[in-house]
Structure 1
Amino acid sequence: MSATVNGSISIGRPVEEVFDFVADQRNEPTYNPRMRSVEKTTPGPIGAGTLWQVETTSGRRTMSFELEVTEYARPRRLGSRTRMATAEITGALTFTPETNGTRMSWHWEFKPKGLMKLATPLFAAVGRRQERRIWSSLKAHLEAANKP
């Protein structure tokens, strides 16, 4: 059993800037308060095959997981696979130029493991809210960085 989470947001910054900022996972703690730490564990520039070790919080729990860049087509598409003890998440972000900035869209497939499969509908609902909150915070961060 799996669940899909989709959405999009308009960000008032150029597409290359949004892509580059999001592609470097080390930036995520600046706009995602649940993100505790991110470490790039592979050498070289960011691209397909780059691995990140991530530590995040959920309530009072701390979770560690690996995130792999599966697709890197700058500045249009960034695919990833997240491997957690409770689920695997695959999908991509797409970046489309707009008149006043960038339309960033997301498409994720959540595949819960073990007993988490029973909570798939809840997992999807929480995932939708979290994604909207994270990307709205990214939008606010990037747009504020451009104000005098």
Structure 2
Amino acid sequence: MTRVRGSVEIARPVEEVFDFVADLRNEVRYNPRMTDSVKLTEGPIGVGTRFRATVLSHGRSLPVAIECTGFDRPHRMSSHSVMTGAEVDGVVRCRSVPGGTRFSWDWDVSVAGPAKLAAPVIGWLGRRQERAIWTGMQNLLESQGEPS
């Protein structure tokens, strides 16, 4: 298992950051590797909400099934993601700080088969990719003018 975690500060209110990130359909707006994200379940986002996403990995489209496994608006959302060769259990947290929100992520990545041997490299790449993804979200949210 490989752990990938980090945080960024976002100059937006905690509720705004949480609601934006909890709706995984928004991720295509700031994650260049995600090409599609569809909400599969009816109703508001919460425990049991499922999404289907498509990400680019090594030039191929890879389907990802994502389920919300914990939900405490506007502070914490956990999820379980399944894709070919890997499963990810993780949590994102939002905490109010002066000037905005501290947004953090913490993923446990389990890989199958020969990829297990590459766990240190997967961890290093994962940390870089996640930092770029969440910095992209930070830039998008902060570019939207005055906080709501």
Q: TM-score range by the shorter chain?
A: over 0.9
Deviation at 1:47, TM superposition (A): 0.4
Matches of residues 25-64 of structure 1 in structure 2 within 5 Å? Answer: 25-64=24-63
Aligned length: 146
- Structure 1 match to 2:111: 112
TM-score relative to the length of structure 1: 0.96
Which structure 1 segments of 5+ residues have no match?
none
Q: Could you list the runs of 5+ residues in structure 2 that have no partner in the other structure?
A: none
What residue is the counterpart of 1:136 in the other structure?
A: 135
* Offset at residue 118 of structure 1 (A): 1.3
Residue in structure 1 matched with residue 6 of structure 2 by the alignment: 7
Deviation at 1:59, TM superposition (A): 3.2
User: 2-side partners of 1:50 and 1:116: how far apart?
Assistant: 29
Q: Deviations over 1:58-97 (max 9, x none)?
A: 2311100101111110000010111011111101001000
Q: Does 1:79 align with 2:65?
A: no
Query: In percent, how many aligned pairs have the same letter?
Result: 45
Aligned to 2:123: 124
Runs of 4+ in 1 over 4 A off after TM superposition: none
RMSD between aligned residues = 0.9
Cα distance in 2 for residues equivalent to 1:34 and 1:118: 24
- TM-score with structure 2 setting the length: 0.96
Instruction: Identify the residue that residue 96 of structure 1 maps to in structure 2.
Output: 95
